[in-house]
Amino acid sequence: MTADLRFAPATGIGSLPGGDAREAARTATGSFEDFPFLPELPARGPGADMIGRTAGMLVELYARVEPSGWRIGDRPGRDTKRARSWLGEDLDALEEFTQGYEGQLKVQAVGPWTLAATLELRNGEVALSDPGACRDLAGSLAEGLRLHLEEVRRRIPGAQIVLQLDEPSLIGVLRGQVRSASGYRTHRAVDRQVVEAGLRDVVGVHAGGPVVVHSCAPDVPFALLRRAGAAAVSFDFSLLTERDDDAIGEAVEGGTRLFAGVVPGTDTALSDPAGSVMGVRTLWRRLGLHPGLLAEAVTVTPSCGLAGASPEYARKALAHCAQAARSLADNPE
C-alpha cells in the first residue's frame, strides 16, 4: 500500500445497538458523509454477531451454534442461512442509503486468527489447535471475502471499499493465551512469522484496496500488522503506553494510517471534541512528529464497537468522532 494513501478523517468501528437495519444504515451514512460503514447488529442474535457474520461468509466451510459457541460442520444449516440472510438485509439497507455515493466505504469481517481462536472443530477444540485447520480456515475466509467485496462493489459501484479485519484475539494467539476446551490449559503460541503470513494472505484478497486491522486489546503489534500489508491499524487509544511510542512513530513515518479510538464505546459523559483528541496531540508532541501530519495520519473512531451502548449514545458518539476529527484538523498544535 502506498504511503500517500489518504483516509477520511472519521468513521465508526462496525457494530451498533438495536436490530433495525435501515435505522443503522441511516446512522452510519448520516454520521460520516465521506466514510460510512456497513453496520453490524449483534443484538439480533447468533449469526448477526461478528463471528457468526464472518462464519456465514466462509466458502466450503460452514458453522453452527453449539452451547459452547460456533462449531464447524459438514453442511450449511439454519445458523449459516440466518447469518447470510441478515448480511443481505444489511447490504440492502446500506445500498438504499448510498445511492450515487462516491467515496470511501468500510466493511468489516473477523480476521483469520481471531476466527481460528474462536471457531471450534468437531472435537470441540478451536481451529487454532490444528495448523492445517488454520490454513483451511484462512483460505476459506479469503475466498469468502473476495466474493463479499465483489457484492459490495456491485451494489455501490462508486465506493472505494476499505476492508477492516477485526483481530481482538491476535495478542492471545501470539502469546499462547487462548484456552483449550477444558479450560485447564492454553494452546501453544503461534510463531509470529506464521501469524504474519496468514494475515498477509487474507489482506491480499483486497487487491488494490486498503485494509485496516482493528484490535481493541492492549499491546497491538503495529510492526507485524504493517509487514502483513495493513494500510492502517485501528486501536483503543486509551490502552496505549509509552512502550508503543517507537512502533507508532515508525508506523506514521512509514505511511501507515492510525485509526485512533478516542471516544468510549459505552454510555458515558462525552468531553468537548477538542478534549477527546487532546491525547493524540500529546502523543504527537512526545514523538516529535510534525503537527501538520495529524490530519493526514489519524482517523478518529470510537474505541471499539458500539453494540453495548444505548441507541442515543451511539448516535452521539459517532457525531462526536466527526467533530473531534474536525478539531484535530483545524487545531493540530
DSSP 108-129: EEE-HHHHHTTSB-TTSSBGGG
Nearest to 314, CA basis, from 250, 242, 266, 256: 266
Average pLDDT, the chain: 94
Look at residue 38 in the predicted model and tell me its pLDDT: 98
In percent, the amount of the chain with pLDDT more than 90 equals: 86
Q: Is the pTM of this model over 0.85?
A: yes
CA distances from 158 to 90, 91, 161, 266 (A): 18, 15, 9, 33
Cα–Cα distance, 80 to 63 (Å, whole number): 6
Write down the domain spans for the chain.
Answer: 21-40+99-330
DSSP labels for 251-264?
A: HHHTT-EEEEEEE-
Cα–Cα distance, 136 to 46 (Å, whole number): 23
**Residue showing cell 437495519:** 21
Can you tell me the mean pLDDT for 46-55? 95
Whether the predicted pLDDT of 2 surpasses 70: no
DSSP labels for 181-249?
A: TTSSSBPPPPPHHHHHHHHHHHHTTSTTS-EEEEE-SSS--HHHHHHTT-SEEEEEGGG--GGGHHHHH
Per-residue pLDDT of 172-227, as tens digits, reads 999 999 999 888 899 999 999 999 999 999 999 998 799 999 998 999 999 999 99
Cell of 189: 503460541
Look at residue 183 in the predicted model and tell me its pLDDT: 83
**Residue showing cell 484462512:** 138
CB neighbour class for 330 (10 Å; exposed up to 12, middle 13-18, buried from 19):
exposed
**Residue showing cell 435505522:** 23
Q: How confident is the model at residue 89 (pLDDT cuts 50, 70, 90)?
A: very high
Laid out side by side, the sheet with 298-302 consists of: 103-110, 159-166, 211-215, 232-236, 257-263, 298-302
Q: How confident is the model at residue 3 (pLDDT cuts 50, 70, 90)?
A: very low
Cell of 300: 478518529
Look at residue 273 in the predicted model and tell me its pLDDT: 87
- CATH numeric code, 21-40+99-330: 3.20.20.210
Question: How many CB atoms neighbour CB 161 within 10 A?
Answer: 19
**Residue showing cell 492454553:** 186
Cell of 188: 501453544
Cell of 289: 512528529
Look at residue 1 in the predicted model and tell me its pLDDT: 39
Assess contact for 62 and 81: CB atoms under 8 A. no
Cα–Cα distance, 4 to 297 (Å, whole number): 10
Look at residue 182 in the predicted model and tell me its pLDDT: 83
Cα–Cα distance, 159 to 168 (Å, whole number): 27
Look at residue 208 in the predicted model and tell me its pLDDT: 77
In percent, the amount of the chain with pLDDT more than 70 equals: 98
Look at residue 332 in the predicted model and tell me its pLDDT: 63
Number of H helices, E strands in the chain: 13, 8
Look at residue 247 in the predicted model and tell me its pLDDT: 93
- Radius of gyration in angstroms for the set of CA atoms belonging to the chain, rounded to a whole number: 19
Cα–Cα distance, 133 to 272 (Å, whole number): 48
Look at residue 263 in the predicted model and tell me its pLDDT: 95
Cα–Cα distance, 214 to 220 (Å, whole number): 9
Cell of 291: 503537527
Can you tell me the mean pLDDT for 31-37? 96
Cα–Cα distance, 16 to 39 (Å, whole number): 6
